[in-house]
Structure 1
């Protein structure tokens, strides 16, 4: 982590040496010297970071580096504040004197930092021999004895020690033995500790597999493996397997010669080669051309924590990828019980505690075995001890040697991360346990923290998304939820991995987490995450180094000034989401460095102009689900603002489910030219000036417009044509019966993938058919006189289609072979609709179909029985006559048409909420309104950008 801190600071220094920041006399020389020392020490730190846990002296040295770097970063930010005050305070003599003193103080402190850095740098030489020895050992024994022992243990497990292995084992054996005669690559991927090595070794040792292949070789790949070493190891094992003497000089052969020998050995043999625990793509590139495609049915297996490596290596050879999933609940319990109670049953009074502990293991076999080893030593009559482990698992991980194996496996993955991902990954420790991490929230926080490096041709959001995908590819992070068009919406982190990164964050003074009043704070706090209660009874702490303050589930409101009476002038992130805040926080007025301010889901009603106008570096202002309805003109001073979210959904009644409140924007909104997301602006003001100013926002990716006037249609189209980066567009007319005229839009945004139109359409805009990237299309109140499906059916990537009061005709026809990628379809309030027809091979991917408020529709869609992938069929506020046709009891003549659908619901709006009935709960009189299984007040679908 010290390497990450140094690299981060060097990144911060870059503008200084690109002449973008002017330094005071006496400071420039100190900064130049500091940069030189940091560059010298950075190369040394990666190895030191990886070994600091095993060497206390080295750990102290690394901590000293990190502390000096943090102080230097703080001084640079203070220096920027002094420069700003110098420019903005004119000729105020007292303030200029104060700034002069601050400059001298900063220059003096920088000298002190450089002196300390010089001493630290000189002492690094004494660690060089240690690092060289450790590096050699790592190369020779696969990243350390502990890891080697772990892998050996996995290879020696008996079948009686394993659970949940039969099904994946059978599938992998089938992939190995059956299939084409060509060479196939089969990859098994999953997070560390999932049991990849154990599974593949059992497949490798299976008698059927050994009989099928002439040559079988197992190669364990080192994390620090070099190409020649991998090829040499493979060659040695092949000669041993086929019982031929190794040629002389094998140890000194180059890569090309080794590849030639390996290829010659295998050219006429059906072989199976396993590469266990591959880390990098170059490892596969080094060996793939040495393994011949000899049309003998040969196979290569790769186990890896990297999903991208698994996919790439397999796809080149038309192979397959097996993504190893966590154990199912009953399998996890079986493994836990065997190891904790040595095969005996769990005492009834411990079941609830054990279930809670097991839940934290997340189905990860290594975690279950590690925790079981701890619990097996505990007194089974001391319920308090077991409960303590459940409540303080992080402390148990830190202090119990029986959990070292799990920490070692995780540390391999963590240490393999490049420096820029280490900060991003550790930042996940700010979120509470089981907290759904919103993807875009995380991306905006990363950017505000400065973790994201700008790259040519990409926005910072694009780069952050790449970082996120990398963590997903490395199986360090899991997808918790996706949108209907397949985008990642929410994320989760394994509970035990979260506990480990919390410990790392605390040790590195990266994030401080406060969950109760009694928890002690570190002396210097850089990032503070408060869970559940504000620690106002604590001894007053300095906020001089505080960079971020985030609150989760805080029930009481406490002014920031009382929490940190000394101020927090370097704060860059302030997240009040869901806090009981009633007024805009006055304390932010002087926060020059503030980049992220979220008041989402608070009771704030007004944004003071004199405060918001001071936040010149603000990039994200999140006022979603607040009562703010108007923004002051001072908002136009925020030239760095990238995300402006000000809206709230109306769910007071049935008819308002798809409605929302927006905000009145000040005239001149076009000046905010860094904006990427703007939602939702009320456009019926200033005689359409707002609409014309949108054309200036060339960086917009997402735009939400409310109350668009009919007469502004032409101006709106002209503005949209200039927004070539737009990905999502939501437009709502002034009133339900008012026209949205978008037919004049000649060149729509080329990458538009989400479109939401609410208002009457005289005709469907012809340009919609040209949107090759369109994945979600919602139309509401269109009232067209012709079937719109003809114009939508060939959209190549359309995955989600919602139509509400769109068509006045009596027949909807989904034609044969059309809507090839559609997964979700909603039809609502088609007043004249009497028949829905689904042609052969239409909507082959449809998984969910909702039909509502179509009073004349008395039959299920004709052809619905051919929708083989349909999992959910929902009817809401539909006639009883239709529901009786699919009733499982009585006269339900169409029941057979929907019998293949696993979830069929009848939903009704009553007393401000949905009553939901499952098909199998209908009574024998075929009443679709008995046996309520769910009550919900949430909107059935949210129309959002």
Structure 2
């Protein structure tokens, strides 16, 4: 983590040297000196970080040195931020400007002197740190081991803890019955071609236990001529692996070892292995593979001899598995956490192994369930914690102590050190730029499912994400993907198009992350009931999971870079007022879902603020001082009562995401929807960095506002509401200039308002299109949108069947046609159309009386929802041929249709009886989502109420 800190500090120095043309006299030289010192220290940081993390082999001096490196890097960031704040102070205008100018000059001169003094002190500190580094003889380490690595690290702590997974008795294995049978089938049956089988998952899931259990099966032993089980791990030599393979093969077949084996080079070893395996059906198990290049290193030693040979690998890294695809037919088994019943069975086996007949006593069941729940199906955690509890008295008091203090127990109890070390391995293996990204998950409360855009925008604001020619958002998404591929981050919600919408980390990994954050002074936590919430000068981030009132008196805001509040209690206004007055380096302010009622007038004082999230608060306005937030990148005021933005917002040239709308789900259904946007004033064309703008009510600014939009050439998402007929051509002209546009949402001001969008030539990158306006005919350019994945039409009053324009779109996955989008009687899905469509939503089409689905249409369809089509009395018979259909949802449909699919007496039940889940909903009011629900599942029927 010290390497990450120095890298960020270096990045800041490079940036200021590159961009700041007005550096004070002499300052340029000082920053150049700092850069040179940082670069010389950085060369040794991988080795220093590794030694500091190895608790068994490190003296306090090394840890102190690493801590000093982190501290000085933070001071560098602070001094740069202060310098930028001073030289970019916005001068005041109007009455009293001269007095203010004099005052500012005096204050600025003092600040510049303080900055110069701090820089000199930093240089001295760096010099001393560099001198101490020579005492510890740090080595320059490469990022990853190569074939010339110096051998497996014998006796290292993590290796000892993992060894047990290779020697678990069969009677101890619980919950792997299905994956075991699947792997056995892949080993013993199938293609004659050499095939690779991978078991992928986070540390502690039991990958090694499962694979070794299958490897040692009697049927497997008989099936293969020779086998080898090789532990790879993070440090290995290719020579060592090849030598070990030959020894294991010869030991199993009782063949003599080749002469001079230990003296052979890699090329000779490969030749020996290929010759030995050429006519054999072999099985090789590579356990714990970490790096992609491993495939290239070992592939040549395993001949493809068409004898049904198999290779098994276990890994935490999905991208390692992907790398094997180029050389092997591949089967990927993503190992899942244990289901609750198996988790309970495993826990009882460990906690009550030698007493109580392996059964949990009644008085401990509640506490035991709570403890098992915290393990979230992770076998290693269940085994470790069950083993710890097996040594404790079987009393509620003792077990409650373990449950309530699990975080402390993880780090101090010998029974759990193996668990923490195995979980730590994945963190320790991360490249420096991903370590602060994974630590950020610890800022959020345990068990949080975090919106991926909220998270990645905060990473960007913190400076964790570095541009490489792509947008910062694209790079941040790649960072998140890499954490997912490394099995550190779990996906909790995937959109219909396969994109990650929200994610989380396992609770025990969260505990580990929180501990690391505290050790690194990455974040200070204030929880409900904490006795001590005071922060220190080293506090850089604050996570508040309690009433904000609890932190008002004891918090020093001067050095805080990010503040996240998750508690709803307390009065937030005094807190935000203090922040605006005292904060000097704050970059991230997240007050989502707090009880905030208004924003302080001096908000603009937070010069460095990049991310401001006020979503789902009760604020009604944004102060004019927002125009002074020159560095603001994200402003999120969704689900607030803000309806108009001050003209000063148009000064924010770095603003990338302006998210502003309110949805009133309590209101009665409206054809024009429940969403209101914001009014914006002239000057919007200055927001040239804007990527996200939704929603703007264009009626207020009219054509002038729409014409200004053409200057926003970086827009990816645009939402316009209350659009009038006369706006159509201006919208077409502006949208034509937005070559990066991926999402377009247009809603008319009234049901009968005709919006002419035909003059758009094309929007080549468009992925989502929502049109709620009268069109009368479908614009020609829509049928050419080859990247479109989602289409929604409403109020269009189309005379021709809209399906003809949409059925050949190559990537369309979700289609919604509702609220009189079509004025005909028959919707006809023709054979061959909508080949990739997964979701179809048809609603409130008042003239439609029949839906025809030809055989060969909608071949990929999984989910259908049909709502309040009052003239549709018969279920479409073509549904019978939709073999991939998983869910049908009928909502407020005519009685005739509902009765026709009744499992007992319905004449058309045969049409839908192959669909796993069929909902029948009837609105009972008064709220929009108040439905009585009946579920038809095969031949069963049950009722429930939403």
Aligned to 1:943: none
Please state if 1:685 is matched with 2:696.
no
Moved more, 571-580 or 97-106: 97-106
Q: Which residue of 2 aligns with 1:698?
A: 713
Q: Which of 432, 452, 457 is the matching residue for 1:419?
A: 432
Residues 654/352 of structure 1: CA separation in 2 closer, same or farther (3 Å cut) = farther
CA contact (8 A) 2:850 2:872 kept: yes
Distance between the aligned counterparts of 2:736 and 2:919, measured in 1? 42
Give yes or no for the alignment of 1:42 onto 2:42: yes
- Deviation string 1:298-351 (CA, Å, 9 cap, x unpaired) is 111111100121133146422211110111111111111111122532222322
Q: Is the 8 A contact 1:888 1:919 kept in 2?
A: no
Corresponding residue for residue 398 of structure 1: 411
Residues 699 and 250 of structure 1: CA distance in aligned 2, closer, same or farther (over 3 Å) = farther
Q: CA deviation at 1:227?
A: 4.2
Tell me which residue corresponds to 2:24.
24
1:42-86 C-alpha deviation (Å, 9 max, x unpaired) = 232222223324124122221121112112211111111222239
- Alpha-carbon distance between aligned partners in 1 of 2:340 and 2:485, rounded to the nearest angstrom: 25
Q: Return the alpha-carbon distance in structure 2 between the equivalents of residues 226 and 680 of structure 1.
A: 57
Match in the other structure for 1:800? 814
1:82 aligns with 2:95: no
CA contact (8 A) 1:189 1:321 kept: yes
8 Å Cα contact 1:643/1:677 also seen in 2: yes
Match among 449, 455, 463 for residue 462 of structure 2: 449
Of 677-686 and 85-94, deviating more is 85-94
Alpha-carbon distance change, 552 to 304 in structure 1, aligned in 2, over 3 angstroms: same
> Would you say 1:495 and 2:515 are equivalent positions?
no
Distance 1:561-1:864 versus aligned 2 partners, 3 A rule: closer
Shift of 1:894: 1.6
- 3-state secondary structure, aligned to 1:117: helix
2:111 match: 102
Alignment match, 1:189: 200
Which residue does the alignment assign to 1:778? 792
Change (3 A) 1:487 1:550: same
Q: Does 1:467 align with 2:479?
A: yes
Q: Compared with structure 1, are the counterparts of its residues 624 and 561 closer, same or farther at alpha carbon in structure 2 (3 Å cutoff)? A: closer
1:344 aligned partner: 358
Counterpart-to-counterpart distance in 1, 2:690 and 2:822: 36
Give the secondary-structure state (helix, strand or coil) at the position aligned to 1:92. Answer: helix
- Structure 1 range deviating more: 390-399 or 183-192: 390-399
Where does residue 72 of structure 2 map in the other structure? 68
Alpha-carbon distance between aligned partners in 2 of 1:294 and 1:97, rounded to the nearest angstrom = 82
Give, in angstroms, the shift of residue 191 of structure 1: 0.5
* Native 8 Å contact 2:152 2:235 kept in 1: no
Matched, 1:653 2:665: no
How far 1:231 sits from its partner (Å)? 4.0
Q: How does 1:312-461 map to 2 (within 5 A)?
A: 312-314=323-325, 316-342=327-353, 344-381=358-395, 383-456=396-469, 458-461=470-473
Q: Does 1:527 align with 2:508?
A: no
Of 124, 129, 143, the match for 1:120: 129
**SS at 1:685 equivalent:** helix
2-side partners of 1:380 and 1:564: how far apart?
50
Deviation, 1:378, is 2.7
Q: CA deviation at 1:687?
A: 3.6
Task: Flag structure 1 segments of 5+ consecutive residues without an equivalent.
Answer: 936-945
For residues 699 and 565 of structure 1, the distance between their equivalents in structure 2, rounded to whole angstroms, comes to 30
Match of 1:269 in 2: 280
CA contact (8 A) 1:906 1:916 kept: no
Inter-CA distance 726–62: structure 2 relative to 1 (3 Å threshold): same
Q: Confirm or deny that 1:823 pairs with 2:838.
A: yes
| In structure 2, C-alpha distance between the alignment counterparts of 1:634 and 1:538, rounded to whole Å | 30
Question: Of residues 469, 478, 482 in structure 1, which corresponds to 2:494?
Answer: 482
The offset of 1:538, in angstroms, is 6.8
Counterparts in 2 of 1:390 and 1:736: CA distance versus 1, 3 Å: farther
Task: Report the Cα offset of residue 20 of structure 1.
Answer: 3.5
TM-fit CA distance, 1:762:
1.5
Count of residues in Structure 1 that have an aligned counterpart in Structure 2? 923
Cα 1:816–1:204 shift into 2, 3 Å: same
Q: Measure the CA separation in 2 of the matches of 1:209 and 1:123.
A: 57
Change (3 A) 1:770 1:138: same
Deviations 1:72-109 (A, max 9, x none): 21111111122223988989344323322222222222
Does 780-789 or 555-564 show the bigger shift?
555-564
Match of 1:286 in 2: 297
Q: CA RMSD in A?
A: 2.5
What CA deviation, in whole Å up to 9, does each residue of 1:17-42 have, x standing for no partner? Answer: 43545432343333222222221222
1:938 alignment counterpart? none
Correspondences of 1:513-662 after superposition (within 5 Å): 513-516=525-528, 517-524=530-537, 525-536=539-550, 540-558=554-572, 559-560=574-575, 567-609=582-624, 611-651=625-665, 652-655=667-670, 658-662=673-677
CA deviation map 1:177-215 (0-9, x unaligned): 222211111111000111111111111111211222112
Does structure 1 conserve the Cα–Cα contact (< 8 Å) formed by 2:922 and 2:933? no
Residues 426-454 of structure 1: per-residue CA shift (max 9 Å, x gap) = 01111112222001101111111111001
The 3 A distance-change label for structure 1 pair 103 and 746 is same
**Counterpart selection for 1:812 from 817, 827, 842:** 827
What is the rounded CA distance, in whole Å, between the counterparts of 1:664 and 1:564 in structure 2?
A: 28
Number of the residue aligned with 1:942: none
Structure 1 residue 139: deviation in Å? 5.7
